[in-house]
Structure 1
Amino acid sequence: MFRPLPLFIGLRYTRAKRRNHFISFISLISMLGITLGIVALIVVLSVMNGFHKEIRERILSMASHATLSAPSGSMADWPALLDRVRDHPAVIGAAPFVEIQAMLVHGGSVNGAMIRAILPEAEDQVAELRRDMIDGSVDDLVDGAFNIILGQELAMLLGVGPGDKVTVVTPQLNPTPVGVMPRLKAFTVSGLFSVGMGDFDRGAAFISLGDGARLMRLGDDVTGIRLKLTDMFEAPRLARQIALDLGGVYLVTDWTQSHRNFFAALQIEKRMMTIILFLIVAVAAFNIVSTLVMVVTDKRSDIAVLRTLGASPGRIMAIFMIQGTTIGAVGTLLGVIGGLVLAWNVEAIVSRIEGLFGVHFLDPTIYYISLLPSDPRLADILFVAGGAFLMSVVATIYPAWRAARTDPAEALRYD
């Protein structure tokens, strides 16, 4: 069977038992270093992806993929527009809403909140409020009942629970005999929800659509329409396309704009963590340099014999590049396999460790996410494996070049 000479000798050098066991030890350490570095990278990136996915899902359980609203702040004729939006192929669900920035007052406690007036049956199409309810029901939001659903932490700050009264203070002003006063309305707390995100649990509340329109004196109008799209990652493009298809003038926002700073911070954190952990792989990969330099020194006489038999400097260089690349390739393969196995089972492994030692790495009383979600992604794995292998190849160039420059006469002089 035909085997190229550099490949045959390079692989043989990789497998051969050396007189100098220290070289074999350094080769093994280099391979294990690459393996452990890749395992660490894959697991950390998978866990970070899992956290990002969990946070994104929690945010989108309250925030819609996109929102259409009128520039005037009041959208008339919305039932007909709602039907047209729901017929669009890019839309899974749509729901009208009225948005109110208000203060909630109970006794001596005052707290700001973003109140969203909704139709419960329509809201189910765009959000997961019903799933996040921990007390009461979304169906209690009936026009004219003036019920309100509060985030759990917001209710704790106000010191209220189901059945208690809270006063909603809106920024609109009412003229009275004693002067201009803000608009006030008492609501009954009918339920509590918990998303696991402080922005919502401390600062959001829900009332019925009719009560919200009445409170804001919108008549039959609404603030806008919330959309759930077929592909949330294409929300910016799809939302603008929908607005163009509908005609008219609408303000278009999407979830990437509403939480841009937060998701940008998460992306920067992931990028910096990748760079830091890649340094582990880089150190292990460039250990191959020292390994091959010692191998070249150990094999000077072999190199001289090959040169006298007609091997070109290019072939000599290829032999040692193949040897170093093989070390990097095996380390990369083992690292990818180990990383994937650990990433797929990290939650079970952490739970087992917590059970054995009676500890909580993510205390549920402190952290919103108390588990270690993992989401291995092909793009991350290919990036890590490709980067590690490329560094291994680069690390072989200098030692292989030195081997190619070996002078046969000088090498054989004292042998």
Structure 2
Amino acid sequence: MFKPLPVAIGLRYLRAKRRNGFISFISLASILGIALGVAALITTLAVMSGFQREIRDRMLQMVAHATVSGYGEPFSDWPAATALAKSDARVAGAAPYVETETLLRGSRNQPAIVRGVLPSEEAQVSVLAEKMVAGRLDSLKPGTFNIVLGRELAMWLGVELGDSVVMMTSEARATPMGALPQLKRFTVSGLFEAGYNEFDRGMAFVNMRDLQRLQRTGDGVTGVRLRLHDMDLAGDVARDLARSLGGPYRVSDWTTENANMFRALKMEKAIMAVLLSLIIAMGAFNLVSSQVMLVTDKQADIAIMRTLGLTPRAVMQVFMVQGTLIGVIGTLSGVIGGIVLTLNLEYILRGIESVFGIVVLPEDVYYITGLPTDLQAEDVVTIALVALTMAFLATLYPAWRAARTPPAEALRYE
């Protein structure tokens, strides 16, 4: 099969035994360095993507995809808004809510966000009923003044099922003694565990009618929460609903409400990718060393090829081909190794735990146990392209140096 002359010579140099065995060792080290860096980067980014997905999924189980609420005043037209939202084919469910910041008092005090919901409607926008570990969500009946607490929140308050907690709201009431905060005693009728600390430690649920009565807002609510079939359309759907209702409404979605957290996770992943890319860079530096030593070792061959008519550009291509092939071999090995390692990471973790008798992520300490992975094709492709680019750039200087070899000087002592 026909091959361009630089490619044929470069392939021959790659396969041929070298007089200096140290050069072969450095080339092998370059391949291993690139492969190790690529595999480590693929596995690490897959684990970080897995944790991001796990955190997002747990958060979205309790958070609405989009919310439409009033500007500083109760949202009184919520029945029409709910009906209009449910008529949209993009909306899977809609439910009203009332929300306020409170101080809960048990045996200890703890600030929390209390959300008033309709238990019969809540299943349309969250999986709260499925996350109950004690009691039932439908115990939140109007007029009973029951409350469902996060499990961590109950521990901090020092209360259990059937105990009472006092809710202190920021709304003041006028008395002969002056303005005093609203106080109301609630009975703990349920505990939930969402697996997300922000909810388990900082959120409680009551019946929406009870909270409306406590805040004296009549039939007004804070807003309407939406769950969509495609959560990426949350902002568009919420804005369309607000425009259809008319009047000033505040629109938010799950990306804007948690923008800081997702931005931090994205930044963490980017920084980790840059740091682990240094392993690939070390392999590329080894490739530079091996190619420079190879050029020195092949001085006579270069001179002979030049005297036979091979142009400096063709000589440069010979060594670029060889160095690039080393990079391709290292990158392919790393991609295959990284994918295999990622797909079997859970089994490897279990093996390490059984051999050494340890638990890497104990359930009583961490919400997420095991190592969730999310192998994304775009990450693998990006890592492979970065590794190939580094390998290609590493061949430029040695190849340029080979092209500048003067034939007369190289053959003087042969």
CA distance in 1, matches of 2:326, 2:143: 74
Deviation string 1:127-148 (CA, Å, 9 cap, x unpaired) is: 1212221111112112122111
TM-score by length of 1: 0.96
Q: 1:310 to 1:246 in 2, by over 3 A?
A: farther
- In the alignment, the residues of structure 1 paired with residue 398 and residue 236 of structure 2 have an alpha-carbon distance, to the nearest angstrom, of 51
CA-based RMSD of the aligned residues comes to 1.5
Deviation readout 1:286-330 (Å, 9 max, x if unpaired): 211111111111111111121122111111111100100000001
Partner of 1:377: 376
Distance 2:239 2:293 in 1: 62
Number of residue-to-residue matches in the alignment? 414
The residue type equivalent to 1:39 in the other structure is A
Aligned-residue sequence identity (percent) comes to: 53
Q: Which residue of 2 aligns with 1:230?
A: 229
Cα offset, 1:177, TM superposition: 4.0
CA distance in 2, matches of 1:294, 1:233: 54
Tell me if structure 2 keeps the 8 A contact 1:286–1:391.
no
How far is 1:92 from its partner?
Answer: 2.0
Letter in 2 for 1:95: A
Q: Distance in 2 between matches of 1:217 and 1:16?
A: 88
Is 2:315–2:399's contact at 8 Å kept on the other side of the alignment?
yes
1:54 matched residue in structure 2: 54
- CA positional deviation for 1:245: 4.1
8 Å Cα contact 2:81/2:241 also seen in 1: no
| Corresponding residue for residue 131 of structure 2 | 132
Q: State the partner residue of 1:341.
A: 340
Task: Measure, in 1, the Cα distance between the counterparts of 2:353 and 2:35.
Answer: 26
Give the Cα–Cα distance (whole angstroms) in 2 for the partners of residues 389 and 127 of structure 1. Answer: 45
Is 2:84–2:241's contact at 8 Å kept on the other side of the alignment?
no
SS at match of 1:202: helix
- The Cα offsets for residues 361-381 of structure 1, whole Å up to 9 and x where unpaired, read as 223222222211111111111
Structure 2 SS opposite 1:61: helix
Q: Is the CA contact (8 Å cut-off) linking 1:152 and 1:193 kept in structure 2?
A: yes
| TM-score under structure 2 length normalisation | 0.96
- Structure 1: distance between partners of 2:16 and 2:91: 63
Seen in structure 2, the aligned counterparts of structure 1 residues 10 and 244 have a Cα distance that, compared at 3 Å, is: farther
- Give 1:167's aligned amino acid: V
Structure 2 partner of 1:66: 66
Shift of 1:349: 1.1
Q: Is the 8 A contact 1:70 1:223 kept in 2?
A: yes
Query: What's the counterpart of residue 282 of structure 2?
Result: 283
User: 1:188–1:388: structure 2 CA closer, same or farther, 3 Å change rule?
Assistant: same
Query: In structure 1, how many angstroms separate the alpha carbons of the residues matched to 2:236 and 2:21?
Result: 61
Gaps of 5+ in 1: none
Q: Distance in 2 between matches of 1:307 and 1:243?
A: 75
What are the superposed Cα offsets for residues 36-67 of structure 1, whole Å, 9 maximum, x if unpaired?
00111011111111111111112212221111
CA offsets per residue over residues 174-221 of structure 1, 9 Å max, x none?
223444322222211111011222221111000112112112112122
Q: Aligned partners of 1:371 and 1:61: how far apart in 2? A: 20
Aligned-partner Cα distance in 1 for 2:245–2:220: 18
Three-state SS of the structure 1 residue aligned to 2:62 is: coil
